[in-house]
């Protein structure tokens, strides 16, 4: 026996994480995970542990880290309430295809099922919202379980994995051997590419007169940004991105026609119902993109590129499904395409672009008078960073304005909660994003409601001394709910006005510099001060309290049913 490898389960966990390339963990200690944290003490310098202030914050921070770094995010938590506090982040990661591993402590094996102190059925709770959930009851299982967890979380369509680690497994010793996993029987992360489907797709594209590509996060997850450009340029196809697809191509890319969805751009939404070929690439036809499925793109043939067979025909019936990794399937189709020119078709987007600028954009980002607007703040911050920063948003009007008016030059520059729409996501996700890309500027846009859901994570900023720029768009309302109440509930503002604290003073209590701005003539200088400040900064901007996010497609209606406001 090699005594150097005869180690406890807790030390085995540390070594296994390092074997998988982990350098950063977000977590919070507690009784049932204490042996692991004791082993972590000896691995400082090899594993950077970020002490958050709430377990939900750990999961969102790990998500932000994963989204910008391309690595698996890891959260380390205790049992009982520690585990249940992580449920929101696990669900958020799963629906947004974010590779996340959450390791929770658990009572000793002998106590399982006895309602012991801080015992909960973590596996039972998380099975519906994970790719894999497993309870480790012996130390010998730890290397195998970690290797399997990383393989499952990061391959195919990424997602969340939960490992529930019994306390006796943490302390018992065994002869440690680590083997990475590259194959699991019955698990095929990447479907086989079918040459016949590739040829069918190429044929449809060659003969389309009005093709439109819909770009989802799958392009980013598959590291296929350059392959996407080659595909679009050869066939001269206009493209639009989903919320999670933002930054897959530069904002000013000539074939980029804007954002799809409820608060997306007029052109791509309307052209969805005017194109003759719709090409979905790494996106899942979410209801916020499709609206009423009975009226969605009925005139078009549909090609769907995806790595997940479950997404094919789930919401929208496809003409041709091209399964596989887009980094391989896109070039396979591109090789078969004829060089094309769709100049006349692309010109049809211009009138809608001009209409949106006149009716919505100009009023939002270049207002001549009145209170400050969310869009103008976002636009000025983006310009001040030369469009090179990472955008992190919370959820609500701040999110939609951020996604609409922040611009991107490079991929993996947008971190937002898509499918679950989690208020409170923004602040911890921004912390994780900064650790995932320490050399980049991270700008968080958050509302007064969402910030207060995870405001304790200002303590994490204080403890780690990281540099995040927090732009609080304060309208003293739960803004998006208020917008719906105004439009669809006869302006009955039930429980949406908010009486707020002095946010700048709260930030100061955590050692974070800040300023409150409510005048347009002060905004530019305040943004400059924020960006030049060496450290985190909270810029609170008082914006119009009844601002609206337009355009807007009412939920469940046709994608051409677009409200432009007054």
Task: Tell me the CA end-to-end span of the chain in Å, nearest whole number.
Answer: 78
452 in Cβ contact with 470 (< 8 Å): no
Q: Check 117, 209, 226, 491 and give the catalytic one.
A: 117
State CA 4 to chain mean position distance: 41
Known catalytic residue: 210? no
Separation between Cα atoms, residue 71 and residue 371, nearest integer Å: 42
Residue entry with tokens 């609409």 = 404
- The residue count of the chain comes to 566
Separation between Cα atoms, residue 159 and residue 168, nearest integer Å: 28
DSSP state of 178: -
Q: Check 401, 480, 548, 552 and give the catalytic one.
A: 480
Known catalytic residue: 167? yes
Give me the sheet containing 100-106, strands edge to edge.
48-51, 24-27, 73-77, 100-106, 160-166, 132-136
Q: Check 118, 234, 348, 359 and give the catalytic one.
A: 118
Separation between Cα atoms, residue 396 and residue 234, nearest integer Å: 38
User: Encoding tokens for residue 479?
Assistant: 């803004």
474 in Cβ contact with 538 (< 8 Å): no
Provide CB contacts within 8 A for 281, sequence distance 6+. Answer: 213, 214, 215, 216, 218, 219, 228, 305, 326, 330
Give me the sheet containing 320-323, strands edge to edge.
256-259, 239-241, 211-215, 277-281, 301-306, 320-323
For the chain, give me the number of helices (H) and strands (E)? 25, 20
Known catalytic residue: 118? yes
Q: Check 167, 229, 373, 469 and give the catalytic one.
A: 167
Separation between Cα atoms, residue 72 and residue 154, nearest integer Å: 7
Q: Check 11, 26, 37, 55 and give the catalytic one.
A: 55
Known catalytic residue: 546? no
What 3-state class would DSSP assign to 23? coil
Strands 160-166 and 469-474: unpaired
Known catalytic residue: 55? yes
Give the catalytic positions in this structure. 55, 117-118, 167, 480
């Amino acid at each position: 026996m090699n005594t150097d490898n005869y180690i406890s389960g807790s030390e085995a966990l540390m070594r296994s994480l390092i074997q998988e390339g982990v350098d950063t963990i977000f977590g919070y200690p507690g009784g049932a995970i204490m042996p692991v944290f004791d082993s972590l003490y000896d691995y400082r310098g090899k594993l950077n542990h970020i002490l958050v202030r709430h377990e939900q914050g750990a999961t969102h921070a790990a998500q932000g880290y994963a989204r910008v770094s391309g690595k698996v995010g890891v959260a380390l938590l205790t049992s009982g309430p520690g585990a249940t506090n992580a449920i929101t982040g696990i669900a958020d990661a799963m629906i947004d295809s974010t590779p996340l591993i959450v390791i929770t402590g658990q009572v000793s094996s002998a106590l399982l099922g006895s309602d012991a102190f801080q015992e909960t059925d973590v596996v039972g709770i998380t099975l519906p919202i994970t790719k894999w959930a497993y309870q480790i009851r012996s130390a010998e299982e730890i290397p195998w379980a970690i290797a399997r967890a990383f393989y499952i979380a990061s391959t195919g369509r990424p997602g969340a994995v939960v490992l529930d680690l019994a306390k006796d497994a943490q302390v018992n010793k065994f002869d440690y051997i680590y083997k990475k996993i590259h194959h699991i029987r019955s698990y095929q992360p990447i479907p086989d590419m079918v040459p016949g489907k590739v040829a069918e797709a190429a044929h449809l594209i060659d003969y389309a007169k009005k093709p439109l590509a819909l770009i989802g996060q799958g392009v980013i997850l598959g590291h296929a940004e350059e392959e996407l450009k080659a595909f679009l340029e050869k066939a001269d196809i206009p493209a639009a991105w989903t919320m999670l697809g933002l930054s897959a191509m530069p904002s000013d890319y000539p074939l980029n026609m804007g954002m799809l969805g409820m608060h997306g751009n007029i052109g791509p939404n309307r052209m969805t119902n005017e194109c003759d070929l719709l090409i979905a690439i790494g996106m899942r036809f979410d209801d916020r993109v499709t609206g009423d499925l009975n009226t969605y793109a009925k005139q078009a043939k549909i090609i769907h590129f995806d790595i997940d067979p479950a997404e094919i025909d789930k919401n929208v019936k496809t003409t041709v499904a091209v399964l596989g990794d887009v980094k391989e399937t896109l070039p396979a189709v591109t090789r078969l395409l004829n060089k094309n020119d769709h100049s006349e078709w692309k010109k049809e987007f211009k009138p809608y672009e001009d209409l949106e600028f006149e009716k919505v954009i100009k009023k939002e980002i270049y207002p001549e008078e009145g209170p400050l607007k969310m869009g103008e703040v976002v636009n000025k911050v983006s310009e001040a960073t030369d469009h090179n920063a990472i955008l992190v948003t919370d959820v609500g009007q701040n999110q939609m304005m951020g996604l609409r008016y922040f611009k991107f030059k490079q991929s993996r520059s947008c971190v937002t909660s898509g499918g679950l729409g989690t208020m409170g996501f923004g602040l911890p996700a921004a912390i994780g994003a900064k650790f995932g890309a320490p050399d980049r500027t991270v700008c968080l846009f958050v509302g007064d409601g969402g910030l207060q859901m995870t405001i304790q994570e200002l303590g994490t900023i204080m403890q780690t001394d990281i540099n995040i720029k927090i732009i609080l768009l304060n309208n003293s309302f739960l803004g998006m709910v208020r917008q719906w109440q105004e439009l669809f509930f006869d302006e009955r503002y039930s429980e949406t006005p908010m009486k707020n604290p002095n946010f700048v003073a709260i930030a100061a209590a955590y050692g974070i510099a800040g300023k409150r701005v409510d005048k347009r003539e002060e905004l530019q200088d305040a943004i400059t001060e924020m960006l030049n400040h060496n450290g985190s900064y909270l810029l609170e901007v008082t914006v119009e309290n009844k601002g609206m996010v337009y355009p807007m497609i009412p939920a469940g209606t046709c994608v051409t049913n677009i409200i432009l406001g007054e």
